Copies of this chain bind each other. A is one copy, B any other.
């Protein structure tokens, strides 16, 4: 097991100084053609590669982006990561990923860990617990230390940093409007409690869509569940109870899990989808595509979101120090994918 080749070793081997080797490899004109060739040949032969850690220390830059997300087993986050990875690679950055597991302490710990030299900046989506605690000192502190931060999806307004968001309100409005356009008039929504920002915004879009069609919003047609990430037995029971015996012709849900369960429940009650009741959901995955019937969704474009977040971060990182601080909030547009769970547009 041989040790990694370093400038020092090359220098020793060829009986020149370290700095000569360094210069030669960087094609400095100072070095004679002769020795330069010799050194480069040797380095190539033994496959010399400069040590990134040493470079990071010297340059005080790691060319590494830290991503902190609540969970990775989640199609949406996964697509975002892919987007970040793409953009990072295009600009010669590395990506290091940490999971908060929706746990406040782990989020803080991870940030501190990565902030101590491992990373030049952060892209993050806040843990649920962090939002509930309403404690963002770890964010303000790293920003104060001069590390750029880009937040996406689960964002909090008061933090001074770039943000990338899905236009949840507009997306929900688009989805519900699609139901309206295909003839639905009695439309329910399955959403989350308002403290989940995206749930709140999507509920808002639902209301706006109805109002733009002069339809009164019936509170009985709104079901608010606890989590947006899962749909356990308790959720399923609530969905069944909610839908049972209701006179509806459309259902909008804020994620695809709710939609799949709603679809199942409706069929249990003898309703046909989409002939009796149509379904549209916010989506981030394959489930809606492969469900039976396949689900019409408002698509979130996570990859684009990741690309945008990385772009904003890299801009900040490569911007000259003195430039004026300025924070942008980018919105990623959603789009509607019509499938079998809604009727055809006339």
Contact = CB atoms under 8 A, between A and B. Distances in A.
Interface of A: 1-4, 47, 49-54, 56-57, 62, 64, 71-75, 78-79, 81-82, 85, 94-99, 112-118, 141, 144-146, 257, 260, 263-264, 267, 285-287, 290-292
Nearest to A264: B292
B53 A118 contact: yes
Contacts of A71: 82
Contact of A144 (B1, B144, B286, B292): B1
Contacts of A2: 144-146
Nearest to A75: B73
Contact of A117 (B53, B72, B146): B53
A242 to B, nearest CB: 18
Given A82-B73, A96-B95, A264-B292, A49 B146 contact: no
A85 B72 contact: yes
A141 B85 contact: no
A338 B27 CA distance: 65
B57 A54 contact: yes
A141 B287 CA distance: 41
Interface centre among A2, A53, A98 (most CB of B within 10 A): A53
Nearest to A61: B53
Nearest to A4: B145
Given A53-B57, A53-B117, 13 more contacts: A4-B146, A47-B141, A53-B53, A54-B57, A64-B118, A71-B82, A72-B78, A73-B79, A74-B78, A75-B75, A94-B114, A264-B292, A267-B292
A263 B97 CA distance: 37
A81 B85 contact: no
4 nearest CB pairs, A to B? A53-B117, A1-B146, A51-B117, A52-B117
Contacts of A95: 96-98
